[in-house]
Structure 1
Amino acid sequence: MPRSVRSSDSTSVGTDGQAALSVRGLEIGLPAGMERANAVTGISFDLLKGKILCIIGESGSGKSVTANAIMGLLPKAISVRAGEIRLGDAEIVGMPDEALRSLRGRAVSMIFQDPLSALNPLMTVGAQVDEVMAAHDVGTRATRRSRSLELLTEVGLPEPAQMLHRYPFQLSGGQRQRVMIAMALALEPTVLLADEPTTALDVTTQAQILKLIREIQRRKGMSIVFVTHDFGVVAEIADHVVVMEKGHIVEQGTAEQVLKSPQAPYTRRLIAAVPHLTATDRVPIEVARREPVLVCEGLMKTYGGGRSLLDKVLPGKVLPGMFLGQKKSVRAVDDVSFSLGAGRTLGIVGESGSGKSTVGRLLTRLLDSDGGRILFEGRDVATLSEAEFRPLRPKIQMIFQDPFASLNPRSTIGTSLTVGPVAHGTPYAKAAEEARALLAHVGLDAGAFDRYPHEFSGGQRQRIGIARALMFKPKVLVADEAVSALDVSIQAQILALLDRIQRETGVSMIFITHDLRVASQICDEIAVMQKGRIVELGPPSQIFLDPQSAYTRELVAAIPGE
């Protein structure tokens, strides 16, 4: 039976072992006017050498703030008010910036939750991995390049030699996350902080990354703090678990104790909210419309091909960090066809880079297709000009995978939610009223309307993205990893919210996800994509109980915790 540890209890699990990292009585203050006074209050725990400690809790519980405090990366608006953070013999709290920079990457490294905002958009992947080593004067340029190639291979990126020359915007969300993991492992630190490192990854890649982290941890005796909201991941990787709620530790113990015999009511609620694979088909929603609201026929999209612009302007000139010459052609979407009925949800699942998100962007005309038809209410929108499509854009809305990148950092949340409807003729007062109501529906307090994106956690920003898409009362909602950044309890609430909205309004949904457990709960049909093609299409009962494709069987077998 695990011991329920309150934040006021300074005794930590495993104090009889040698700690690589010790946190004692940590208190981190928040600016005035926030939901609570402190991000974390009086938390204490130990990370034992050679062990993996998982910190789990809802969005806004203080998990990521704690990890950033250990790295000495807290923003100026918040600060450590009390407590100690000891990394080996070094005290992090109050350490000079120069000493902290010496530790980062070498002694302690971090995999960040949001890879797009953490990567430099103006530097190639290879240059960014190289920079980690160059900052600590490790190796020559040639040896660092060799090490970069080795790391990209190790984290499972396709064609790593070419990946060295690509930029973050050219990669899928999962691929960017793997680049972050490669950078964090470059100097093989003794302590690794992983803040939701598998959130953007499909199940097969997630399994590979978890195996990779575990292998490196065992080989090097590395100690890992693993921040996650996925109890399936906790079950597979954790030695010890810390459960956080609203800045407090409510329970901690071994993984077996916390998962099998949770003592805190909050822990039991979180475990009960974990999604499980269900092969039961959904009860169809009764709708008046019989014909499909959206039909795709032979949809095509190819990236690359031809020679780069710089190669045409500066033939034969090799610029540092730039890849010139013939660019490889990649068929991202290859002859994709499906139909979506009114009030129905089609799930699109597959590995990172399979073309899922590209399909979503084609449907919303954020990308132009190279072939095929997109029939929205019988009209081919693929051939329309931007001016012709603009009046239809509110009817096909998208919830983006990366909420931070899709929100304007200089605009309040209220502005981001109301600017679109106001531009289409809705009075501001009415748009603001609807925005506040939607923010409440997705679990945010009334003060969120006047705050800025950087003041929210990753999961909270995802909820804002969902509210913004619903502002237009769309007929088709394209949800691109809409719940991937959410903890399990909020994820369950958002899925229930989407289901309720669909039943009330009859909106049709394209639900793009790498989490097959979520897809099984909300989708009427599931399309499995591999390398740009749909390899299997059918109801959940077929996909999960009697998969016809070997690739589908591989995906189902890789689901964590099942």
Structure 2
Amino acid sequence: MANHDPIAAPVSALTVRNLTIDLPKGMERKHAVSDISFDLKTGQILCIIGESGSGKSVTANAVMGLLPSAISISGGSIRCGDVDLTDASPEVLRDLRGRVVSMIFQDPLSALNPLMTVGDQIDEVMFAHGEGTREDRRARSLALLTEVGLPDPELMYHQYPFRLSGGQRQRVMIAMALALEPAILIADEPTTALDVTTQAQILDLIRDIQRRKGMSVMFITHDFGVVAEIADSVIVMEQGVIVEQGSAEQVLRNAQHPYTKRLIAAVPHLSDNDRTHDEVAGSAPVIEVDDLRKEYRSGSIFFGKERVVKAVQGASFALQPGRTLGIVGESGSGKSSLGRLLVKLMDSDGGRILFDGQDIAPMKEAQFRSIRPKIQMIFQDPFASLNPRSTIGRILTAGPVAHGMAPAKASQQARALLEHVGLDGGAFDRYPHEFSGGQRQRIGIARALMFKPKLLVADEAVSALDVSIQAQILELLNDIQRETGVAMIFITHDLRVASQICDEILVMQRGVIVEHGPPSQIFRNPQSDYTRELVAAIPGERIAA
């Protein structure tokens, strides 16, 4: 938890009183937030925590004056100094944004302009407020890129967002937010999709800048592990209402509301015990990988600028039926590339992939097509992987019908699976946009199970979900594995989750498997320096389990 020097009677940088924001008619509830009041103290970090739909991001957007037109403030006030932001004119809000109140958005790739360089985007923030000459703005931009810890600021200044990693893009967003040295910084889930070491770096960066500049920070998250690392005070929101608030120590150590207790209980912790199974004598591995390799090449060899990235180097392992193999590592470690090779979404450059005794690595698509149903993938983003124009029933039955299953049988199996993953029968005729993120992930799992696969590859399948939904999905995967005996490869950047669901874990760094063993060894007695760094970066392990 944050430990700032106490400030005598800290004044409020932001005061919210009786704020009510209405949702459009026909929604499941009337208000996005209902009659909420809180203070953001000067020089402190306030964490707002809650699940999707709790109203935390709507509150942040109301402060910034960025609410969509369908949502309106119907009562209360948001005061920043002498200004009430709820009835301020667009001109006043534009003047305050960036200069007094700045925001770091959850998804930096969608928040950054893909057609502008990093330098131009930071420059634009200052230019919009009439700050300095172009030379002054350039010097300030380079200083900011240095301050947020980006390597080679001169090179970064001229890069486009798509060339940067997730952590680097998030640092650029922080640089933009700090360009005019605002008094208030709002960070909306800035570390949700980042690996543990990058997350730790971003949290340290925000905390360090906040201390040095005396900023007030409103930090929105769904992870109490993050709260334990950074917060001075905490607000817990459920269904648009504040159900608990107080100091971080008070809320974490002595939570009063049942909802707060459930959120804390759902935070994954490193497990001390390895999973146990009934041994099946003589069971052959579902998949064996031997010396698998993949390189990516870009640029031109003729101009001497060819870039070679060794994404996977000499990967070897085997996986038995009913077991789960975790693959962990930072962004760029090669774990997702390895997953895509195993399901043949791309071809390898060498090595063998023995599935049920057959080497599928050299197979062409026509030859592999009959085997593909037995190897299924659960994708990270269930919304992007579901066709928005098809009903859930069609999404689930199209593949099996194409492989020869009778439509009536496919529909019957799809309805049974939807019920099995915790969705009602009515889901069959609805569309993806009508479901929450957790429900869409359940649909993705049901789709993968339609073929009764022998191997499931789950690529960051729970990384974007609230901790309580995450716990439900992990329990569901465990239940499915016990019932069907399916083998699973679980790719994740969350080591806490990996310790709970995996029998063995591979740790990858720059395409190389640097350590392989049971969770008890990997997390409690790591042999590799890199593994030790990953474990040390896990947030919130001080929360009582």
TM-score band (shorter)?
0.7 to 0.9
Q: Deviations over 1:245-269 (max 9, x none)?
A: 1221111001111111111121122
Corresponding residue number in structure 1 for 2:296: 303
Corresponding residue number in structure 2 for 1:282: 275
Instruction: Return the match for 1:40 from 9, 12, 33.
Output: 33
Cα 1:142–1:537 shift into 2, 3 Å: farther
1:499 pairs with 2:449: no
Greater alpha carbon shift after TM alignment, 202-211 vs 27-36: 27-36
Instruction: Return the match for 1:292 from 285, 288, 312.
Output: 285
User: Offset at 1:391?
Assistant: 4.1
Instruction: Return the match for 1:522 from 481, 501, 513.
Output: 501
Corresponding residue number in structure 2 for 1:10: none
Q: In structure 1, give the amino acid aligned to 2:39.
A: D
Whole-angstrom distance in 2 between the partners of 1:152 and 1:440: 50
Cα 1:448–1:257 shift into 2, 3 Å: farther
How do 1:47-196 residues align onto structure 2 when only pairs under 5 Å count? 47-157=40-150, 161-196=154-189
Q: Deviations over 1:155-196 (max 9, x none)?
A: 445555545555444444444444433433333322222121
Q: In structure 1, give the amino acid aligned to 2:513.
A: I
Q: In structure 1, give the amino acid aligned to 2:246.
A: G
Aligned residues, how many? 535
The SS at the match of 1:368 is: coil
User: Offset at 1:369?
Assistant: 2.7
User: Offset at 1:15?
Assistant: 13
Tell me, yes or no, if the aligned pair for 1:112 and 1:197 is still in contact at 8 Å: yes
Q: Deviations over 1:413-434 (max 9, x none)?
A: 6665555455545566766666
Cα 1:193–1:411 shift into 2, 3 Å: farther
Whole-angstrom distance in 2 between the partners of 1:297 and 1:439: 36
Tell me, yes or no, if the aligned pair for 1:15 and 1:46 is still in contact at 8 Å: no
Whole-angstrom distance in 1 between the partners of 2:389 and 2:121: 27
User: Offset at 1:355?
Assistant: 1.7
Instruction: Return the match for 2:464 from 485, 490, 493.
Output: 485
1:511 pairs with 2:490: yes
Corresponding residue number in structure 2 for 1:30: 23
Greater alpha carbon shift after TM alignment, 374-383 vs 117-126: 117-126
Q: In structure 1, give the amino acid aligned to 2:313.
A: D
The SS at the match of 1:262 is: coil
Whole-angstrom distance in 2 between the partners of 1:402 and 1:357: 13
Greater alpha carbon shift after TM alignment, 155-164 vs 496-505: 155-164
The SS at the match of 1:561 is: coil
Unaligned stretches of 5+ in structure 1?
Answer: 1-13, 316-324
Whole-angstrom distance in 1 between the partners of 2:334 and 2:187: 27
Whole-angstrom distance in 1 between the partners of 2:370 and 2:338: 21
The SS at the match of 1:58 is: coil
How do 1:130-529 residues align onto structure 2 when only pairs under 5 Å count? 130-157=123-150, 161-284=154-277, 290-307=283-300, 326-408=305-387, 416-417=395-396, 419-421=398-400, 423-424=402-403, 462-529=441-508
Tell me, yes or no, if the aligned pair for 1:360 and 1:478 is still in contact at 8 Å: yes
Q: In structure 1, give the amino acid aligned to 2:78.
A: I
TM-score (norm: length of structure 2): 0.87
Whole-angstrom distance in 1 between the partners of 2:410 and 2:9: 58
Cα 1:394–1:307 shift into 2, 3 Å: same
Cα 1:22–1:342 shift into 2, 3 Å: same
Whole-angstrom distance in 1 between the partners of 2:393 and 2:81: 45
Cα 1:524–1:113 shift into 2, 3 Å: same
Q: Deviations over 1:274-329 (max 9, x none)?
A: 21111311112656882222222222232334329xxx9xx9xxxxxxxxx82533
Whole-angstrom distance in 2 between the partners of 1:333 and 1:291: 25
Measured on the aligned residues, the alpha-carbon RMSD in Å equals 3.3
Whole-angstrom distance in 2 between the partners of 1:493 and 1:439: 15
User: Offset at 1:362?
Assistant: 2.4
Q: Deviations over 1:208-230 (max 9, x none)?
A: 11111011111111111111122
Instruction: Return the match for 2:530 from 548, 551, 557.
Output: 551
